[in-house]
A and B are shown apart, each in its own frame.
Chain A
Amino acid sequence: MLFSLVEVTVANNLPAVDVLVVGGGNAALAAALSAREKGASVLVLECAPKDMRAGNSRHTRDLRCMHDAPTKIMSGVYTEDEFFKDILSVTEGKTNEKLARFMIQKSTECTEWMTGYGVRFQHALSGTLQLGRTNAFFLGGGKAMMNAYYDAAKKAGVKILYEAEVVDFEIADGEFRSASVIIEGKPAKVNANTLIAASGGFESNIQWLKEAWGPMADNFLIRGTPYNKGTVLKRLLALGAESISDSKEGHMVAIDGRSPKFDGGIVTRLDCISLGIVVNNKGDRFYDEGEDFWPKRYAIWGRLVAEQPDQVGYCIIDSKAMGKFMPSVFPALEAKDIADLAKLMKLPVDQVTATVKDYNDAVKPGTFNHEILDDCKTVGLKLPKSHWALRIDKAPFYAYPLRPGLTFTYLGLMVNERAQVLMKGGHRSKNIYAAGEIMAGNVLGRGYAAGIGVTIGTVFGRIAGREAAEQTLDGSAQKPTKEEASVHANS
């Protein structure tokens, strides 16, 4: 059944469709395009206005892909085992191995499929990227990718409505019947044979974050879209969907404390922590800044800062470190000595001065090399700095304020490898699928490694779209499958 030729009007009832996709990011469009490939009629409901469409995919840049030989866009090889080892390492085992390996295998198809819809990639090894082996980089970044998808969806006949917020569902016995939507402020109802939930996490719902984290969540900055309120997730969980991961799990990094509350994106990151020291607002250090390579540690610093009083930290470096890290969008605070720098940061001068002095006194001479775990470390401090420890002694001195920057949340919908949503008790929903951040917790129970978010969205978006279309067109998805229960259900 093709989509009705009658133009959709914003009225109480929208024409029924085969596949209803809720969300407007990478996973949603991958699902919509895949369902359309099979011939299903597809309606996409994006709650953001057109200019702000595509959720956190606007801020993405790359996806992680397995490949057994160098490709035009990725160097070297990245095997299934190495990819899975990386997932195990960042999640500390909180992953569904079957789903994760399935995703890794399917990741090999992604770039070619995306290219078919006009997504363009940077050539391998161009620019200053360090992830050229494991990740494929979109030419122009995530918004360029999403522009290509939206363009392709329009050409393919996918119907897209903006400022269309899904607020509730009618679900009976694990079967989706209809969705209640507010379209440009007016309520409406959509009937569809199948539902694909691809509406992201709940990181911009401060109230929900406070329920999980307590009042400190007021001090979190949200790096991505202000439209990920988690309304769809909350409703589906309330209507009997099984959950995965935990409401406190997610990807949180330490970003510049001066960033906007929402949507600051990539330019707010600070990559200088391993080059200096970090103090809280009492003027004390609180974690080993040189524990491991920055790409392996950046994901823990959001939580570390969140645990400090008022959820703030300050990274202090000297002139030797300037120019050795990616610039931030905000200028560093600058002073001729540490006492003046402490005043600029509005921190207790004596304590900051003492902390820097203790640290400097403990630094042992070594050969600085940021590319390896070098031998520059402190000796005798209760809280050591294990690598890249250089004395902070060359004026002028610089500081950057830090705050926790929440990127994704992992509490989500449990799915099987056909992207079907599982209901409480482990049975499959009849016609509900999920893709993207809303089910990312199945693969990433915690932690993060660059580019996995888009891989999850693309792989499960494609599967969800295909499965939903097949189900609605020939009922094949009704065939029983085995071994679909999640490992998380038992762990």
Chain B
Amino acid sequence: MLTAELLEEGKHLMTVCNACRYCEGYCAVWKSMETRTVFEERDLNYLSNLCHNCSECYYSCQYSPPHLFNINPPKTLAKLRVYSYELYAWPSVFAKAFHRNGLLVSLLTAVILIGSMGAASMVMGGRLFQPIHDGNFYQIIPHTVMSGAFGVVGIFAALALVIGFLRFWHNVGETCSTLFNLRAIIQAAKDLFSLKNLDNDGDGCSLPTEASSEWFRWLHHLTFYGFLACFVATALGTIYYYILGQHGAPGYTSLPVIFGTVGGIGLILGPIGLLALLKRRNKEIDDESQTGMDLSFILLLLLIAITGLLLLVLRQSSAMGTLLIVHLGLVMTLFLTIPYGKFVHGVYRSGALLKWALERQRQPAVKAKL
């Protein structure tokens, strides 16, 4: 449940902002706000997820502290957002635990996984510390074990994300029938893949500090597209294995390795940049309760990328076994924490952007009614 205090804070914010509207040139939040007159919990859940946290509005706000009205849009929306993550997560109790202790939970999970996998490997044959001359991972962990474990966890994570998305979608007042609108999906995809709402019409955003820049947007692009490329690499690897029957280690010029390498580089540069921004972030607009959650996600991505690339380079050395266990342990941790951590921001943001695309389609009708 959203606390009464936070609900009040959200309503106060929207009441002041909707009477002012000076920020309407910035992002979709303010344009969407203008189509409303009342702000219930579901409106706040939607608007807070539509917010990309660019923080331009805070520095432009004539009502931000020390003004009596005490408006802090990025911070209030961040607090509402993380509340909504708990609300939509399945099962939601995990999300609550993760929100409070994100970093600790992730680290613990990773250590346990890596430890147990290492132990298992030792017990089962112990090729862990021996070089594998063709660099074939499956000599360390058999393909069936790897694909089986990740298949189960992956399906669970995907299911949790779908349930979360549907909970969000219904909570903000949409139905299954409004979900499949091709024009809106294309519009939302454009907004999503370009991060248009972090651009503020070419101005960039006020992260980590007041001076506007495009850094955050580009670093997010590096991270996001890096992640996507790695995802494609994994998918291609699966195709190579099952369809092309290529059971050995893929060559350096094979598509899975190229995608994985490019993605891995993005997932190193992006997260390092994001960590640096996070550190310099203006504390006045930061919801500090989320730092652990943010950190664990970024760190996991970074460590996965580093171990992944090392694995590629050192796959014929005796370090391969250890690296593989560590890498897979980290990936497994990511998969397990995905439905409860920072990853979900992308799911609900996509949903919010889709709703915003639908709203724009509906707007002429809304106007005609008035």
Contact = CB atoms under 8 A, between A and B. Distances in A.
B204 to A, nearest CB: 11
A425 interface: no
B165 interface: no
Given A52-B66, A267-B16, A323-B37, A141 B370 contact: no
B68 A260 contact: yes
A400 to B, nearest CB: 12
Contacts of A267: 16, 19-20, 63, 69
Contacts of B62: 58-59, 141-143, 265-266
A432 to B, nearest CB: 31
Interface in B327-361: none
Interface residues of A, number: 32
Contact of A139 (B65, B68, B200): B200
A265 to B, nearest CB: 5
A263 interface: yes
Contacts, number: 85
A266 B22 contact: yes
B142 interface: no
Nearest to B57: A140
Interface in A245-268: 260, 263, 265-267
A446 interface: no
Nearest to B36: A327
A320 interface: no
B19 A329 contact: yes
Given A323-B37, A327-B19, A328-B19, A143 B60 contact: yes
B123 to A, nearest CB: 62
B29 to A, nearest CB: 13
B370 A323 contact: yes
Interface in B189-236: 200-201, 203, 210-211
Contacts of A139: 25-26, 200-201, 203
A140 B25 CA distance: 7
B41 interface: no
Nearest to A129: B24
B191 to A, nearest CB: 16
The DSSP consensus for interface residues of chain B is loop
A274 B106 CA distance: 60
B59 A147 contact: yes
B303 interface: no
Interface in A356-395: none
Contact of B22 (A140, A147, A263, A326): A140
Contacts of B22: 61, 138, 140-142, 144, 266
Nearest to A62: B22
A295 interface: no
A144 B19 contact: no
A127 B21 CA distance: 9
Nearest to B25: A122
Nearest to B200: A139
Contacts of B68: 260, 263
Interface string A118-132: 001011001110000
A143 B24 contact: no
A266 B20 contact: yes
A329 B63 CA distance: 12
B60 A147 contact: yes
A138 B22 CA distance: 8
A86 interface: no
Interface in B1-34: 15-16, 18-26, 31, 34
Contacts of B43: none
A137 interface: yes
Interface in B63-99: 63, 65-69
B15 A329 contact: yes
B370 A327 contact: no
B128 to A, nearest CB: 57
Nearest to B22: A141
Interface string A135-155: 001111111100100010000
Given A144-B60, A147-B60, A327-B37, A265 B370 contact: no
B294 interface: no
A128 B366 CA distance: 14
B61 interface: yes
B228 to A, nearest CB: 31
B135 to A, nearest CB: 53
Contacts of B66: 51-52
Contacts of B25: 122-123, 126-127, 137, 139-140
A58 B69 CA distance: 15
A329 B70 CA distance: 13
A376 B85 CA distance: 51
A59 B60 CA distance: 10
Nearest to B201: A139
Interface of A: 51-52, 58-59, 61, 120, 122-123, 126-128, 137-144, 147, 151, 260, 263, 265-267, 323-324, 326-329
11 contacts: A58-B62, A123-B25, A126-B24, A139-B201, A141-B20, A141-B22, A142-B22, A144-B60, A147-B60, A267-B20, A327-B18
Interface of B: 15-16, 18-26, 31, 34, 37, 56-57, 59-63, 65-69, 200-201, 203, 210-211, 370
Given A139-B203, A144-B60, 15 more contacts: A51-B65, A120-B201, A123-B25, A128-B24, A139-B200, A141-B23, A143-B60, A143-B61, A144-B59, A147-B59, A263-B68, A266-B19, A267-B16, A267-B19, A326-B21
